[in-house]
Structure 1
């Protein structure tokens, strides 16, 4: 990396604020002629509450600042040497003997260059009642051009993909922070609330806007597609089990379907209309891991020498796909399974609960594919932390000035309809975007109780 940065700040009457920044970055991960890029930005602020015309309302609204900024940033996180063809070690048999050699390991792309993000931010800070209530609101809108990712290429080339600047996407949202001093007497109570509404949409994919991902059930649950948010889930729509012969004869079928096997909905066919056949044309969007909004709130109380802090957080909306069902609902006798499998279809006389099909060999594969019965609402509320403290009244001395003891409970309770171990699903870094909202035995956050003390000498 090689970078040059310049910044200029200007303030007039301490209420008109302007800042401009320019940086030029170079990175050896890109090809000749594409290593350097320019990233300017500008921001401005106006403290309107200092204006004379605001004086009549200062008793109620004592502070008002309006902010705006626009700028460009770059991304170079693709690993080293992606723009050049690599050499790998290969073996070959010559004359009955194993001979080591070298061969082309990957294709290079000398046109590879910076991924660029353009972002607009608008915001306002408002203080009410001498800052007893303080509101901060931000709106952002950003557009990413030249997304750095691997684009699929015909395998006849000898390779399956090549790194390229393949796509664009946009993201926008609203972020709100509210701080309030609810009580200010002997008993004090303050609240800090933040909430964020974030949205995104893919606007370009490769050269032909071909969707990427979401084609199979082997760690391929998410899809990137133009017009959709990042990482939607693709799969079949679960429709129960063929319980009787009459039901089997009257319903659409998969190539492996029999009485007692899983039934998926016939959503589409080669011509875009249902055709009575269950196949890959019937795989549709079955979930979206992106939440409607996320939130957090901290309440702090104090009375005499006691203090109490309560932190909660959570999200509303979004989906989780429990990919563990690929194994824990595997009825081929390969794994330990969920208790619900005991209520599977066994015969027309003993059809079970209509949720788990029969175990006949050659008919179970479809049940192991991503489907809507694996998808759950990801909404949750967590009591993240509760801390109760007591400051021991002592007479300060040259050795000891303050002593506070406390007890803390972390992850005290989680409220969610998700039946898995942890609704707080983070994207797997090894899987990249192909892991967003996917539960692959995500480790539960432990509930922890602790006691301690703070001593000032």
Structure 2
């Protein structure tokens, strides 16, 4: 049998389902070796070497393989005689250090030419098959690399009733894939290349204590605290991007438009370059391009003609990653009963809320959070939330330009980028409370059973937080659909 397509466009018609099968195959090769040596039970050295290769990288053979390696060492100082004899309260003291190189593969970038196949209409009733090249070849595509350095110690005192572990680390990631501008003679404006760079520094501390250790009552505490500071050392932003570059800022930096209250028409006011309070019309330099023909139909910003100037409107307002994270676990055991209370906390975290409404696009047929009840109005002038506004008359005042701008005219959703929706939060979540009871051994022995334990647990019971309104979860703060109306 034979299937005829009288027109090339029928090949793309949904009425003719084509049989399609996708098969991806990648090749990897790895060689590795490890070795360790301990001398006198006090001095330990460990090393590892890997040699990984992949066909996901450039055609140049020297980029297909990457030697990965690490070396670490530790010194058990508590076994030294000068500590054993002079400081008997120290049960354990070990110093640690390591250095190594890790590699990463980004499977979304190809070293070869990538194109999309399709049909394009050139004349009425006529189409041509096309392949649109979306990514140029990159023969030097290679591994993303991360150097790691870590130093730390473990300390136990009073027969390990108090144990402390502390680590400091630094990670420098190089050859990360990032967008770079290309000379126009290449036929492409931008491509992904190995050149971006990110640095992470931080520390981690954990503390375990046996507060009470009697036969009928035991109480232990586990506490941990971590801090990480990231920095984008090198990245490029597209010349036509209206959002600022993250270079010199944390990986999850938050940039926003700084507001200064609400004006008499219900629109946000802003902090200008000279520190003065200005209207939205002045801040974005809005104008009517069709004022002489059909006034009041479109508002544009003079700043969009120069993306650099538009990016300068934004200010750095915080980091989505918390400055400190940690947890606290307390376990109590009274004879055969035990109670465990677990908590986790984030401190100084910048969160960005999805705007609960847009005052220029309010639809009575949709649900909104109760924030809309606190929107600015002539009787609620103390609110910092934008008002519910109408377009206004273009022949009597120019506030209609702010309406058009926030409703549809701006190239990015500037309404969602106001600092009104940004908050710094700190919170502690009681993640679990568990109560258990174990049958006495005298009972289980008679039943020929080793152990029987009953338990009941409650999870995510409540949150203690700054700027906590009582109805949203701080971990899903940005999603209005993750909380009740």
TM-score by length of 1: 0.80
Pair 442,12 (structure 1): closer, same or farther in 2 beyond 3 Å: farther
Shift of 1:62: 1.7
Aligned to 2:107: 78
Aligned to 1:287: 318
TM-score by length of 2: 0.75
1:424 and 1:103 map into 2 onto residues whose CA distance is: 41
CA deviation string 1:295-348 (max 9, x = no partner):
1011111111101111001111120000x20x524432245434444454556x
Aligned Cα RMSD in Å?
Answer: 3.0
Equivalent pair of 1:59/1:130 in contact (CA under 8 Å): no
Aligned to 1:226: 247
1:408 and 1:75 map into 2 onto residues whose CA distance is: 40
Higher helix share: 2
**DSSP 3-state at the match of 1:113:** coil
Does 2:97 correspond to 1:68?
Answer: yes
Shift of 1:165: 1.4
Aligned to 1:192: 222
1:171 and 1:346 map into 2 onto residues whose CA distance is: 46
Does 2:42 correspond to 1:11?
Answer: no
Does 2:461 correspond to 1:408?
Answer: no
The aligned length equals 402
Does 2:115 correspond to 1:87?
Answer: yes
| Structure 2: tracts of 5 or more residues without a match | 1-27, 285-309, 392-399, 407-413
CA deviation string 1:112-144 (max 9, x = no partner):
111111111001011100111111010001111
Pair 410,293 (structure 1): closer, same or farther in 2 beyond 3 Å: same
1:62 and 1:389 map into 2 onto residues whose CA distance is: 32
Shift of 1:398: 6.3
1:100 and 1:275 map into 2 onto residues whose CA distance is: 53
Aligned to 2:431: 384
Shift of 1:203: 1.2
Aligned to 1:311: 342
**DSSP 3-state at the match of 2:445:** coil
2:36 and 2:205 map into 1 onto residues whose CA distance is: 27
> Larger Rg: 1 or 2?
2
1:32-431 residue pairs with structure 2 within 5 A? 32-33=59-60, 34-79=63-108, 82-94=110-122, 96-151=125-180, 161-185=190-214, 186-206=216-236, 210=237, 215=242, 224-243=245-264, 259-267=265-273, 277-279=282-284, 280=310, 281-322=312-353, 324-325=354-355, 328-334=357-363, 335-342=366-373, 344=375, 353=383, 355-361=385-391, 362=400, 363-364=402-403, 365-366=405-406, 368-393=415-440, 394-397=443-446, 400-416=449-465, 417-419=467-469, 421-425=472-476
Comparing 161-170 with 29-38, greater Cα deviation is found at 161-170
Shift of 1:441: 4.0
Shift of 1:32: 1.7
1:214 and 1:424 map into 2 onto residues whose CA distance is: 29
Aligned to 1:450: none
Pair 343,297 (structure 1): closer, same or farther in 2 beyond 3 Å: closer
Pair 189,351 (structure 1): closer, same or farther in 2 beyond 3 Å: closer
**DSSP 3-state at the match of 2:452:** strand
1:8 and 1:360 map into 2 onto residues whose CA distance is: 73
Comparing 406-415 with 227-236, greater Cα deviation is found at 227-236
Equivalent pair of 1:212/1:224 in contact (CA under 8 Å): no
Aligned to 2:411: none
Equivalent pair of 2:178/2:235 in contact (CA under 8 Å): no
Equivalent pair of 1:211/1:226 in contact (CA under 8 Å): no
2:35 and 2:380 map into 1 onto residues whose CA distance is: 78
